[in-house]
Structure 1
Amino acid sequence: MSPEVFVDVLRDALFLVILLVSAIILPSLFVGLLVAVFQAATSINEQTLSFLPRLIVTLLSLIFGGHWLTQTIMEFTHELFLSIPTVVG
């Protein structure tokens, strides 16, 4: 049981978290940027105009990417459980 094994597991887990979070956040970021440019160009300062499109895009990314997100987490968990004998013994 070496520390390198734990570092590898932690690195893979952090990479997975970054990947899954970016799949949800990046579309919302781009839509927020487009809405901000539109608001700056038209001088409209309505708060709901910036919040509602980002909320809708975030929910749509969860709806359409939910299966992939869940499958990715399940595969990582399965690989983690399969690596238990390597870590322990």
Structure 2
Amino acid sequence: MTGAAILDVARDGIVTFLKVAGPLMLIALVVGLVVSLVQALTQVQEQTLIYVPKIMAVFGGLLLFMPFMADALGAYMGRIAARIVSGG
């Protein structure tokens, strides 16, 4: 395998990772910001309050985005398998 091919596989893996993890990270970020804003406005400074809404939102996002995530990972595995079969 040449250096360019290795960089291509690595780039494809990073892009696939960002496609799969990106939506869930954005959901967690938005929920965290909203809960922090509510805590600041109401002056409720409970540190554990943020975890339950964030976990529930990420779980809901996981259920919503699961087909997209599975398709992206399956396509990536297909590309990797095709490279293996073709000899690199």
Normalised TM-score (structure 2): 0.89
Q: Distance in 2 between matches of 1:7 and 1:56?
A: 37
Which residue identity does 1:14 align to in structure 2? I
Q: Which runs of 4+ in 1 moved over 2 A?
A: 46-49
Q: Gaps spanning 5+ residues in structure 2: where?
A: none
Alignment root-mean-square deviation, CA: 1.3
Aligned to 1:47: 47
How far 1:76 moved relative to its partner? 0.7
How far 1:47 moved relative to its partner? 3.2
Aligned to 1:38: 38
Per-residue CA deviations over 1:2-30 (Å, capped at 9, x if unaligned) read: 11001100111011112211111111110
Aligned to 2:25: 25
The question of whether the paired residues in 1 share the 8 Å contact of 2:32 and 2:50 is answered with yes
Number of matched pairs: 87
How far 1:56 moved relative to its partner? 0.6
Q: Distance in 1 between matches of 2:46 and 2:3?
A: 53
Per-residue CA deviations over 1:26-57 (Å, capped at 9, x if unaligned) read: 11110110110110011012234311110110
Q: Gaps spanning 5+ residues in structure 1: where?
A: none
- Are 2:72 and 1:77 equivalent residues in the alignment? no
